[in-house]
């Protein structure tokens, strides 16, 4: 009965590779997010989608491409991985843009390590 | 743009004592939401408490309460009767309600409960 699930939990790969992280939520929410947590634990928004439409893109490099096939899924594809991409990536979801400060529910995170 | 500041990188307290974590923020918005999230060593992001800026009454959730001072732009978290399971990183977060919903996080406070 996991609410927001991300796969994989750990991802170790070489510089220059392309990888994807998948996220699914079963809460019936219509807004989903990707956050990046760096080595100093700082969390920063990357993207958000509402009903499959991109509504926030926080100056993330073009190598990062989110895709939302439906409102329950938001995947993150990363091309040409760089050392600086090493981080924990969190997916989150909430009910409704415009409903006023609904809490965001987070997945368990994906730790991406670039060798 | 909003900024969130947590001035205490680390804190420790004896079990059963009370501890207060500080958070200040800067915004030109009049309507917004504030959150405290907890991140234990398991890496999950868990919502602790939520406060609507338009409400003067401070939010409480069992042993957790906030002291919200809107004029001072201050939002501190008080944990009463602290327990070993409260050991975690605590993040203060700012949320805007409409149209551009995202969370802006502080840098976190690492709290250790000492047995």
Q: What is the tens place of the pLDDT at every residue in A19-75? A: 999 999 999 998 999 999 999 999 999 998 988 888 888 878 999 999 999 999 999
Residue B98's pLDDT band, with cuts at 50, 70 and 90, is low
- The C-alpha atoms of residue B37 and residue B103 are separated, in whole angstroms, by 11
Q: Is the Cβ of A95 closer than 8 Å to some Cβ of chain B?
A: no
Q: Which of A100, A107, A108 to mutate to test the interface with B (most CBs of B within 10 A)?
A: A100
Q: Which of the pair, A30 or A81, is modelled with greater confidence? A: A81
Q: Which of the pair, B98 or A46, is modelled with greater confidence? A: A46
Instruction: For CA atoms A39, A42, A46, A50, give the dihedral sign.
Output: positive
Quick one: pLDDT at residue A99? 57
Quick one: pLDDT at residue A1? 64
Q: Do A97 and B98 touch (CB under 8 A)?
A: yes
- To the nearest whole Å, the CA of A71 is away from the closest chain B CA by 16
Q: Do A33 and B100 touch (CB under 8 A)?
A: no
- To the nearest whole Å, the CA of A65 is away from the closest chain B CA by 18
Contact B78, B91 (CB under 8 A): no
Q: Which of the pair, B31 or A35, is modelled with greater confidence? A: A35
Quick one: pLDDT at residue B63? 97
Q: Which of the pair, A41 or B101, is modelled with greater confidence? A: A41
Instruction: Tell me the average pLDDT across B68-81.
Output: 96
CA-nearest of A49, A106, A97, A96 to A76 is: A49
Average pLDDT of chain A is: 91
pLDDT for A89 beyond 90? yes
Interface of B with A in 14-53 (CB under 8 A): 32-33, 35, 37, 39, 42-47, 50, 52
Residue B29's pLDDT band, with cuts at 50, 70 and 90, is confident
Instruction: Tell me the average pLDDT across A92-101.
Output: 73
Q: Closest residue of A to B102, CA-based?
A: A45
Q: Is the Cβ of B89 closer than 8 Å to some Cβ of chain A?
A: yes
Could you tell me which residues come within 8 angstroms of residue A20 by beta carbon, excluding any fewer than 6 positions away? Answer: A75, A76, A77, A78
Residue A37's DSSP bridge partners are: A43, A88
Which one-letter DSSP state was computed for residue A95? S
Token code pair at residue B38: 């907890």
- The C-alpha atoms of residue A22 and residue A96 are separated, in whole angstroms, by 21
**Per-residue pLDDT tens digits for B7-17:** 999 999 999 99
pLDDT for B110 beyond 60? yes
CA-nearest of A30, A29, A63, A59 to A47 is: A59
Q: Do B107 and A88 touch (CB under 8 A)?
A: no
- Pairs of CB atoms within 8 A across A/B: 70
CA-nearest of A42, A38, A21, A29 to A91 is: A21
Quick one: pLDDT at residue A112? 97
Contact A20, A76 (CB under 8 A): yes
């Amino acid at each position: 009965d996991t609410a927001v699930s991300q796969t994989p939990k750990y991802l170790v790969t070489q510089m220059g590779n392309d990888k994807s992280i998948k996220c699914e939520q079963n809460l019936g929410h219509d807004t989903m997010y990707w956050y990046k947590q760096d080595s100093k634990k700082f969390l920063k928004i990357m993207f958000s989608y509402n009903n499959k439409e991109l509504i926030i893109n926080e100056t993330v490099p073009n190598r990062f491409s989110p895709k939302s096939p439906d409102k329950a899924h938001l995947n993150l594809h990363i091309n040409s991985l760089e050392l600086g991409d090493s981080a924990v990536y969190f997916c989150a979801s909430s009910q409704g843009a415009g409903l006023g400060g609904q809490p965001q529910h987070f997945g368990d995170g994906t730790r991406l390590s670039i060798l | 743009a909003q900024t969130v500041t947590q001035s205490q990188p680390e804190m420790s307290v004896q079990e059963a004592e009370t501890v207060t974590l500080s958070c200040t923020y800067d915004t030109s918005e009049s309507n917004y939401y504030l959150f405290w999230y907890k991140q234990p060593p398991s890496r999950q992001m868990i919502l602790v408490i939520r406060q609507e800026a338009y409400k003067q009454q401070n939010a409480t959730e069992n042993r957790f309460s906030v002291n919200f001072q809107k004029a001072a732009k201050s939002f501190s978290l008080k944990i009463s009767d602290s327990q070993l399971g409260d050991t975690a990183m605590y993040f203060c977060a700012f949320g805007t309600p409409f149209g551009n919903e995202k969370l802006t996080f502080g840098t976190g406070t690492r709290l250790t409960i000492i047995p």
